[in-house]
Structure 1
Amino acid sequence: MNATDFVKRMLVGRKLSSAQLGETLLPKRIALPVFASDALSSVAYAPDEILLTLSLAGVVGFAFSWQIALAVALVMLLVVLSYRQTVHAYPSGGGDYEVATVNLGPTAGLVVASALLVDYVLTVAVSVSSGVQNAKAMFPFLQGNEGWVAAVVILLLMTMNLRGVRESGSFFAIPTYGFMIGVLGMTAWGLFRYFGLGEHLQAPTAMYGVQGSESYEPFVGLAAVVLLARAFSSGCAALTGVEAISNGVPAFREPKSRNAATTLALLGTVAITMLGGIIVLANLTGLKLVDPDGHSSFTLNGQVVDIAHETAMGQLARTIFDTFPVGFYFVITMTMVILFLAANTAFNGFPVLGSILARDGFLPKALHTRGDRLAYSNGILALATAAIALVLIYNASVTALIQLYVVGVFVSFTVSQFGMLRHWTRHLKTEKDPKVRAHMQRSRVINAVGLTGTGLVLVIVLASKFIYGAYLAVLAMAAMFLLMRSIRNHYDKVAREVAVAPADARMLPSRVRAVIMVQEVNKPTMRAVNFARATRASSIEAVTVSVDDAETRAIVAQWDAQQLEIPLKVIASPYREVTGPFLNYVKGMRSDNPRDVVCVYIPEYIVGHWWEQVLHNQTGLILKTRLNFMQGVMVTSVPYQLASSKYALSRVQRNTAAAWRRPGTGQVRVGDSTREPSRKE
């Protein structure tokens, strides 16, 4: 094992065979943190976004926070109920993409796929950025370096996910459940202290007033409607990640659909409870937030004051656990960790969806291949790269990134619900069993209500966020859509070009003309001559390009001395160029007969060190690259192993011992071997 393989095995673990795929399937207790961490963690920043937006109306805006939270919870309930129908009807893992493609056509499916891919990238960027913002409550020195810290965290998450779904899920389960216990425990203890013990709890910002934006004062009429719509659309970030379970059904243990539906129900119940608890505590404690970009400000005695910004979760934990510091640090730590790990939902959803799209020809086929840990490694790497670019561009600003967020997921929600409506309608036309029909009709009603709710939210999100950055997400979706259509068109075009016609299997070349590239008369050149002879071509000739008269005369003399009975043609090159004259000569050998073939043999040194490659084979590399684009021409590299290649060979022998087990294997290519292989070999 070389150093590279050793580091890789240390990072991602030992290889897993395809037969071990069943070992990676998830029980519900692991599937919940794997697929639901995004939706659960969003309760850590969705309340912040609601309160930040409402602060633009001043103190009066906070009075509407519980109504906004109630509306978000209602939409989440509709989405969870709707997706429970999806996981039963389409358990193959295609999720929204499959639903839209089957019921609405490939174009609708591609729209959904584009929206989901963009949203998965934003999920990673927003979740990790929010984690960094919460981490500043304990680590103030992170101020100003948020983007780079977020990039490092994404790299760590990428490494964990390269180890496989099961292993990363087991690792992430503890902090996910810790976050749930922390938030629910904080909510229960805060409500008990307030109502049971009669304590008057006040958040650190309760004593301050809030000066809003002039655009929303007075907070009535159209201004109020617009701001409430913005607050609602920001709060709907709590719904992201719900669709990941429908994409990940194949990763569940049997019975897959039932386990996925149960996990969805658990997700909805816990997320709604936590979101509602945080908003209730924020109202009871007088918690306030202001826009860090300066569109709203804290005031004290009528004067604007500048105080440190702290998240809602940080203020509530500090207030409720004011006599129990361990509780404060536990909640903040779990919040920070779960926000980082929330990106894990996207690291599971994006590669699976990318694999399905690659299988259908809409993305590069490399995304369809599992890595040696049975994870879709290329998809994981692609997602991490895109997310790192975003957090560096926006310096991990949640407020900036959140404006791009949510649009994609509600596009997929809406199109998927419409697809499910068509699904039930189509099946009801042929189903005769009364019980089955009754079930289908109930499911259709659920999806119809879900379609109405998500469609309305999509309109609100687009209308309220478009000018604040959502248009960038729409443009990204459009670009992704066009890119995937172009990739599919390319694959279709290539498939048509290379399709085998009946005559192709029987059509042999009418004439093969062999050309040997000669730069020196040495052992590699002699090997090329012998291989060309072994092919029994119609004609064989050697060609050298004259860039120095003395060297050319020496080559001709050495060639004649070998008495090879193969003519050596010398091409003049007054401008001392090798590749151009040789290519022109080969091009001139081609005939108008499409069945004629020119086969060019190029001797090539096989070296053992990377730096030796720089010293050899450069002319051959250029010739091969150019000749590959010439119709009717084939290129054959004739390898000759130099002594240094034994180091590379020994590395290969150590890494693939079984392939080199037989004695003598590969020695036929070694230049100084005088041993002839036996018949058994």
Structure 2
Amino acid sequence: MPGSRPRGGVSSPLVANETRSLPDTPQLAKRILIGDPLTNEHLEGQLLPKRMALPIFASDALSSVAYAPQELVMILLIGGLTFLSFTPIVAVCVIVLLIVVVLSYRQLIKAYPSGGGDYEVASKNLGEIPGVVVAAALLVDYVLTVAVSVASGVDNIISAVPALDPFRVWLAVGFVVLIIVVNLRGVREASLVFAIPTYVFIASVGFMIVTGLVRTFLGDAPVASSAEFAVHAEDLSQAAVILLVLRAFSSGCSALTGVEAVSNGVPAFRAPKVRNAQSTLVLMGSIAIGLFAGLTALALITGVHYAENPCDLIGFDCTNPQPSLMAQVASATFGGGSILFFIVQAATACVLLLAANTAFNGFPLLGSVLARDGYAPKALNTRGDRLVFSNGMIALGIVAMIVLVVFQAKLTTLIQLYIIGVFVSFSLGQLGMVRHWRRILRTPAEGKTGASDLRSARVGLIINSVGATLTILVLLIVTITKFTHGAYLVFLAIPVLAFLMMGVKRYYRDVEHEIAIDDTTHFGATGDLALVLVNRLQKPVVKAVEYAVAAKHGKTLAVHVGVAADDAAELQQEWADHLMPIPLVIIESPYRSFAQPVAQFITQYREKHGSSVVTVYLPQYIVGHWWETFLHNRRARRMANQLMLVHGVSITLVPWLLDSSELIYGRRSRPLPGQERAGRPVVVNGRRAHRPAGPPQN
């Protein structure tokens, strides 16, 4: 109808002023929670300076110092109080390993700044399977990072307010939901929320360490509340003693978690990205080492006794929750009821809860890379209204909440599953870097690799070789000492997830092969057409175009909603190269919506050329398995539902039947090797058959 207008605002070349309708109730709630949508032009403004990147990407590594010394002391105490004498040696080993890993990741950031991290390094240097294993290990580790961080934060809250212990699981789930909502508002807003607690934690714990050490130097050493408790020690053989010390070392290595997040988040830094990411990594490592060493020293000075089973502490009422190491040290240093004690506890609880935020940045970025490479559903590579990969954030939050409920948010149980995944990725990533440097040194590009580059490659080879040796050794130690304590679950989860990712890759590869454009495939269709919506030039689009041409409408156009300028330019070139018979129109969409710009285009076209019936052709996949629906974004169906609300518009869904829709013999109808060479491909009703080269056989 002339003058009719679609519901909702759009952005296209035909529209001078953008119109926005009032949101309905669900949309209003969404806007209140996560804010107004941002255009693509705001992406640069979402990039982080170093002072904001530190709390975003380093909160996990910094917060791990709150529980790593506690886990170290707890494991050693199984053997009795005398085993605490091993604490300095174990702590020094952890610090040396942390230094090596930080230096190794500086090299990785420089060589692979695209954000793929260990996954990209392993894929390019070790092959597809090691890359997928690294990706699966990192995804599992990100889930456990959220679970462990939130459980540890709740643990510290309960240490300050024991009456909250019955609500442990509910508190943990509630905090995960809160972190999801904050992150959905965008990286920059999340960094503003998380920056203050992180810096307060660094300052308050640093002040506590200095105060405790000064008091000790002046002869007034603080004493922990648990220092007077003796311990029921186990009778250990010599082999058991060695295993106990190694287990304590593996638990202390939880201080290394989160180091890899910076290498995965390089694209989120402001330019110069590599230099800023390296500086943030070094600063994070330095602060983590200082806090870890200081807290471990104060734990020994104050005589903290933290047992895996609180009832093993002789004299302690184990019906009450056991105060965390951080709470005991803060109480001994400042006094249990002092303001500084509650500041330290509040800052520790906040930073532990916010440490989960590292995973909420790393998981979606890695998920987008995997989706781009075809190993994960494409929905993970879609930016939401606030220019973040919101689908990945929501998926991570749901899985983490399930883990917290299953394990009742108990830190001592969850910690046994932790760090396996991160050391799998550490080890394979470092091996990949060793091969990367060796390849550069073995085959330097002529005229491109100077003396300084070769010298840098030699230094990198040495650093990453040491890093690979140490991380593999630690992985073996962690595996041996934690396997029977629950780590076997992680070793089951990683291969299962890797297998699923390989299956997704094969599926997408088959679909791409099935719908790839060629100049010999034609569709003998007749019908009617006004607009053909085009995303990429593939066989389903060609089928829709030929149906449209056969319809012989007065005007036939192909329409592409341009979300990314590069994709639009590539499509225009392909459209010209393949001599497509109808003109292509590009409609800009700064808010990444699809139906509204098309609706506004139709309205403006009808206002200019008079009232006319508009038929919109939408290619749509038809699948045979229920699980395939999760691997396609079903945009055609959503657009059809929205465009049918525009007056004068009818929708024609042009089905493209994927091979799986036949469900014949339980497999896809792929030609045997040599069949394509023997005969010319023939397409019938959107399916490919193969015509034999010779005469028909009886």
Q: What TM-score results when the alignment is normalised by the length of structure 1?
A: 0.74
Distance in 2 (CA, whole Å) between partners of 1:32 and 1:457 is 26
Aligned to 2:473: 456
- Report the secondary structure of 1:243's partner residue: helix
Residue 347 of structure 2 is aligned to residue 334 of structure 1: yes
Q: How far is the alpha carbon of 1:20 from its aligned partner?
A: 1.1
Which of 625, 647, 651 is residue 666 of structure 1 equivalent to?
647
Aligned to 1:128: 150
Cα pair 1:158 1:380 within 8 Å, conserved: yes
Aligned to 1:299: 314
Change (3 A) 1:510 1:325: closer
Distance in 2 (CA, whole Å) between partners of 1:626 and 1:119 is 35
Which of 163, 177, 199 is residue 220 of structure 2 equivalent to?
199
Q: How far is the alpha carbon of 1:428 from its aligned partner?
A: 1.2
Aligned to 1:401: 414
Q: How far is the alpha carbon of 1:488 from its aligned partner?
A: 0.7
Counterpart residue identity of residue 223, structure 2: Q
Counterpart residue identity of residue 168, structure 2: E
Aligned to 2:27: 5
Q: How far is the alpha carbon of 1:145 from its aligned partner?
A: 2.2
Change (3 A) 1:669 1:224: closer
Cα pair 2:265 2:365 within 8 Å, conserved: yes
Q: How far is the alpha carbon of 1:59 from its aligned partner?
A: 1.1
Deviations 1:144-196 (A, max 9, x none): 2211210110000000000111110111000000000011100000111110x
Change (3 A) 1:436 1:52: same
Q: How far is the alpha carbon of 1:238 from its aligned partner?
A: 0.8
Aligned to 1:187: 209
Q: How far is the alpha carbon of 1:142 from its aligned partner?
A: 1.9
Residue 85 of structure 2 is aligned to residue 87 of structure 1: no
Aligned to 2:671: none
Query: What does 1:545-624 align with in structure 2 at a 5 Å threshold?
Result: none
Deviations 1:487-544 (A, max 9, x none): 111111122222334332x3414999xxxxxxxxxxxxxxxxxxxxx969xxxxxxxx
Counterpart residue identity of residue 193, structure 1: R
Aligned to 2:490: 473
Aligned to 2:371: 358
Aligned to 2:306: 289
Which of 254, 267, 280 is residue 297 of structure 2 equivalent to?
280
Cα pair 2:160 2:327 within 8 Å, conserved: no
- Report the secondary structure of 1:91's partner residue: coil
Change (3 A) 1:628 1:285: closer
Which of 250, 263, 271 is residue 267 of structure 2 equivalent to?
250
Which of 431, 436, 443 is residue 430 of structure 1 equivalent to?
443
Distance in 2 (CA, whole Å) between partners of 1:131 and 1:14 is 31
Aligned to 2:384: 371
Distance in 1 (CA, whole Å) between partners of 2:319 and 2:219 is 32
Query: What does 1:374-523 align with in structure 2 at a 5 Å threshold?
Result: 374-431=387-444, 433-504=450-521, 506-509=522-525
Cα pair 1:299 1:305 within 8 Å, conserved: no
Aligned to 1:588: none
Aligned to 1:108: 130
Cα pair 2:118 2:426 within 8 Å, conserved: yes
Q: How far is the alpha carbon of 1:438 from its aligned partner?
A: 1.3
Which is further off, 58-67 or 366-375?
58-67
Counterpart residue identity of residue 76, structure 1: L
Deviations 1:519-577 (A, max 9, x none): xxxxxxxxxxxxxxx969xxxxxxxxxxxxxxxxxxxxxxxxxxxxxxxxxxxxxxxxx
- Report the secondary structure of 1:291's partner residue: coil
Change (3 A) 1:151 1:511: closer
Change (3 A) 1:493 1:45: same
Aligned to 2:57: 35
Q: How far is the alpha carbon of 1:626 from its aligned partner?
A: 14
Counterpart residue identity of residue 201, structure 2: F
Change (3 A) 1:83 1:509: same
Q: How far is the alpha carbon of 1:308 from its aligned partner?
A: 4.3
* Structure 2 residues not aligned, in runs of 5+: 1-22, 529-549, 553-619, 626-635, 652-698
Counterpart residue identity of residue 216, structure 2: Y
Cα pair 2:643 2:649 within 8 Å, conserved: no
* Larger Cα-atom Rg: 1
Which of 292, 304, 326 is residue 313 of structure 1 equivalent to?
326
Which is further off, 119-128 or 95-104?
95-104
Aligned to 2:77: 55
Cα pair 2:232 2:313 within 8 Å, conserved: yes
Cα pair 1:59 1:211 within 8 Å, conserved: no
Aligned to 2:100: 78
Distance in 1 (CA, whole Å) between partners of 2:317 and 2:255 is 32
Residue 187 of structure 2 is aligned to residue 165 of structure 1: yes
- Report the secondary structure of 2:223's partner residue: coil
Cα pair 1:208 1:299 within 8 Å, conserved: yes
Deviations 1:401-430 (A, max 9, x none): 111110000000000001001111111123
Distance in 2 (CA, whole Å) between partners of 1:358 and 1:628 is 20
User: Aligned residues: percent identity?
Assistant: 46
Counterpart residue identity of residue 203, structure 2: I
Cα pair 1:115 1:411 within 8 Å, conserved: yes
Counterpart residue identity of residue 71, structure 1: C
Q: How far is the alpha carbon of 1:398 from its aligned partner?
A: 0.8
Distance in 1 (CA, whole Å) between partners of 2:53 and 2:404 is 27
Distance in 2 (CA, whole Å) between partners of 1:43 and 1:629 is 50
Counterpart residue identity of residue 43, structure 1: V
Query: What does 1:10-21 align with in structure 2 at a 5 Å threshold?
Result: 10-21=32-43
- Report the secondary structure of 1:145's partner residue: helix
Counterpart residue identity of residue 79, structure 2: A
* Structure 1 residues not aligned, in runs of 5+: 513-533, 537-624, 631-636, 653-664, 671-681
Aligned to 1:228: 245
Cα RMSD of the aligned pairs, angstroms, is: 2.8
The count of aligned residue pairs is: 527
Counterpart residue identity of residue 225, structure 2: P
Aligned to 1:517: none
